[in-house]
Amino acid sequence: MKFNTKCVHGSGKPDDTGTISPAIYMSSTFSHPKLGDTTGYQYSRESNPTRDRLEQLMAGLEEGIDALAFSSGMAAVDAVFHLFSPGDHIILGDDLYGGSIRMFTNIYEQNGIEFTYVGTSDLDAVKAAFKPNTKAVYIETPTNPMMEITDIRALCALAHARNALVIIDNTFLSPYFQKPLTLGADIVVHSGTKFIGGHHDVISGFTIVKDEEIAAKLRLTYKTVGACLSAMDSWLVIRGVKTLALRMEQHQKNAIALAEWLKTQPKVTKVLFPGLPEHPGYEINKAQTTGFGGMLSFEVDSEETAKQVLEGIELIQFAESLGGTESLLTYPVKGITRRLLRLSVGIEDTEDLIADLEQAFNK
């Protein structure tokens, strides 16, 4: 099946009832037909028929052999870091989601994992960061919120030559635009809350892998720790994925138009979007993806202007998160500048989004 068809049919065929929408198995436990026999299900912490459908779907979309659906994106990242031990060293991208940094700093660093932050678009800097105990490189591309691009193929070649795993957070582009496993990555993680679910109504996370041994280790952590996605939330994500391809095209169409429009605004000093030809990562991104996504950031001329825009928008919402049908604007203060705004471009009509930003700038 091609990608759009996978989104609709990739969670499996109808069961014996012929139901088109998959059943929601709201059961914590499952009975045994007889002693020593099983239906394949025992306890929903370990596996659940509805969640199995979603995991089958996500493995297919990312072209992996196994996927795990977690109760949040952070639970997915946490499970991956259970692969490592005290004394291990991990190279991290220096522009990551703040929740990931909080986890690495306050939990894993305290438990003996060593981290080095590097701008991973600079492969020489990544190479210099390797140590004898380096076990993995963990990145986002594009990064959050600075929209920097890493050459995935080159990074994987560099890491694998040193026996290190490559873990990629693919939340910003989704498997519709980017499939890191096909480019050499070992593990993909997602906040399924974002573009995968796509409707700002369910929190979820995923790991997808292409190696049986890694899959087995993650599944052991999964059923032991128990941060699995509920049956109801699994069904909601399955429903959201059915329109993933359609949504991603509209997200991108709007993002390209807004990026070009923002470049013309006198109060905007910089637009960060990989779909602009002048973006330093434009050619690399084109070579490893099929699109640019729906996320962009932009700098304005002052902190006062940033506040004015945040408080002046009416259609676009000032809110955290990203990747849903509604456009969201947020203020990711990085310590470098208080003039940066991050826009998750929704699927509204392009003209309405531009009009809303225009009136906010002019208030």
Active site residues: 45, 97, 169, 194
Q: Are 238 and 57 in contact (CB under 8 A)?
A: yes
**DSSP 3-state assignment of 294?**
coil
Residues 68, 219: Cα–Cα separation, whole Å:
8
The β-bridge relationship of strands 89-93 and 134-140 is: parallel
**Nearest in space to 316 (alpha carbons), one of 307, 305, 325, 303:** 325
Chain Cα centroid distance, residue 115: 21
Within 48-122, strands assigned E span 66-70, 89-93, 114-118
3-class DSSP string for 145-188: CCCCCCCHHHHHHHHHCCCCEEEEECCCCHHHHCCHHHHCCCEE
* Dihedral over alpha carbons 5, 7, 12, 17 (to 10 degrees): -90
CB atoms under 10 Å from CB of 15, counted, come to 11
79 close to 218: Cβ distance less than 8 angstroms: yes
Beta-strand runs (E) in the chain: 66-70, 89-93, 114-118, 134-140, 165-169, 187-191, 205-209, 268-272, 295-300, 317-318, 328-330, 340-344
C-alpha–C-alpha distance, residues 263 and 250, integer Å: 20
- Bridge-based pairing state of the strands 165-169 and 295-300: unpaired
Phi, psi for residue 198 in degrees, rounded to 5:
80, 5
DSSP 23: P
Q: What is residue 84's three-state secondary structure? A: coil
**210 vs 200: CA distance, rounded Å:** 29
